[in-house]
A and B are shown apart, each in its own frame.
Chain A
């Protein structure tokens, strides 16, 4: 059973880290294009992101893709890729395991580990 994370600890982390909680993904209900602006992505990162997304989900999404049409798990995957491609140096991922199937979870974990060198700190709770 998954417990809620410690809220007071998260409050402290939220001052320095981007918090990505899979139970409430930081995804608006608009297009991929607008999502990329919100996460402050560079143009080149967006094309890498869509190709990573396709590898993970088998789904091809264009800049005008309506994020609402993704499944719950696919929204979580998109949030993770956006966070990793964003300029945020400190990230906390929460509740990933309950939202992702085991194959996706392992793939994402590998991706997070390989991003640890480009970021200051990535935590998984």
Chain B
């Protein structure tokens, strides 16, 4: 499966925009490393361009998004688990990942669909790697943000996408 994010200047806040000069194509079976200095707009690109694009057709894929500085997401997942699966106890980030990956596997068994993993400076990657070991990555697209290079041997090809500041109010997203 391919996702196409159209070339455009995306307004993020009143005083900051992200510019895509060309259409950006993401594909299953591939891994993408999103790079850029602090404050260049990596997380903004993920939240306000990529995810909002994916949510225009929420039925066509599963999205597993792990936020940067995951504390508020942790509280949200914990609350969700308390309602959906009261028997599951989520006490730390490891439990949260386990729960999310378990839910994902469960949904995929019911209804196979492409999956897009979005990891924004995720610290604890062991469980993600284990999940990728156990599942075919043909139907998985992985996008990660990190200042370090991370090795995901499950994907033969890793492409870079860079967030490059042009000024304080504009960054370019360059594949």
Using a CB–CB cutoff of 8 Å, the interface residues on chain A facing chain B are: 1-4, 23-25, 57-59, 70-77, 95, 97-105
CA distance A11 to B58 in the complex (A): 42
How many contacting A-B pairs (Cβ < 8 A)? 65
Please tell me if B37 contacts chain A, counting CB pairs below 8 Å: yes
10 A-B residue pairs with CB within 8 Å? A1-B125, A1-B126, A57-B39, A71-B38, A71-B43, A71-B44, A74-B38, A75-B69, A98-B146, A100-B147
In chain A, what residue has the closest Cβ to B149?
A1
Residues of chain B from 79 to 105 with CB closer than 8 A to chain A in the complex: 94
> Which residues of the other chain, B, contact A2 by a CB distance below 8 angstroms?
123, 125, 148
CA distance A112 to B151 in the complex (A): 30
Please tell me if B68 contacts chain A, counting CB pairs below 8 Å: yes
Please tell me if B150 contacts chain A, counting CB pairs below 8 Å: yes
Please tell me if B124 contacts chain A, counting CB pairs below 8 Å: yes
In chain A, what residue has the closest Cβ to B37?
A101
CA distance A72 to B38 in the complex (A): 8
B37 to chain A, nearest CB (A): 4
> Which residues of the other chain, B, contact A75 by a CB distance below 8 angstroms?
69
A73 to chain B, nearest CB (A): 3
Main secondary structure of the interface of B (DSSP, over half): loop
Using a CB–CB cutoff of 8 Å, the interface residues on chain B facing chain A are: 36-39, 41, 43-44, 68-71, 94, 120-121, 123-126, 146-148, 150-151, 168
CA distance A31 to B119 in the complex (A): 28
Whether A23 pairs with B69 at a CB distance below 8 angstroms is: yes
Task: Determine which residue in B44, B121, B146 has the highest number of CB atoms from chain A within 10 A of its CB, and name it.
Answer: B121
Q: Which of B39, B94, B147, B151 contacts A98 (CB 8 A)?
A: B147
Whether A99 pairs with B147 at a CB distance below 8 angstroms is: yes
Whether A24 pairs with B121 at a CB distance below 8 angstroms is: no
Whether B38 pairs with A98 at a CB distance below 8 angstroms is: no
Q: Which of A1, A3, A25, A57 contacts B38 (CB 8 A)?
A: A57
CA distance A95 to B37 in the complex (A): 17
In chain B, what residue has the closest Cβ to A96?
B147
Q: Which of B71, B123, B147, B168 contacts A101 (CB 8 A)?
A: B147
Whether B38 pairs with A73 at a CB distance below 8 angstroms is: yes
Q: Which of A3, A25, A71, A105 contacts B39 (CB 8 A)?
A: A71
CA distance A101 to B147 in the complex (A): 6
CA distance A87 to B78 in the complex (A): 35
Whether A100 pairs with B38 at a CB distance below 8 angstroms is: yes
CA distance A74 to B150 in the complex (A): 22
A121 to chain B, nearest CB (A): 24
Contacts A100-B38, A101-B38 known; 7 new A-B pairs at CB < 8 A:
A24-B69, A71-B43, A72-B121, A73-B39, A98-B146, A99-B121, A101-B37
Whether A23 pairs with B38 at a CB distance below 8 angstroms is: no
CA distance A77 to B147 in the complex (A): 15
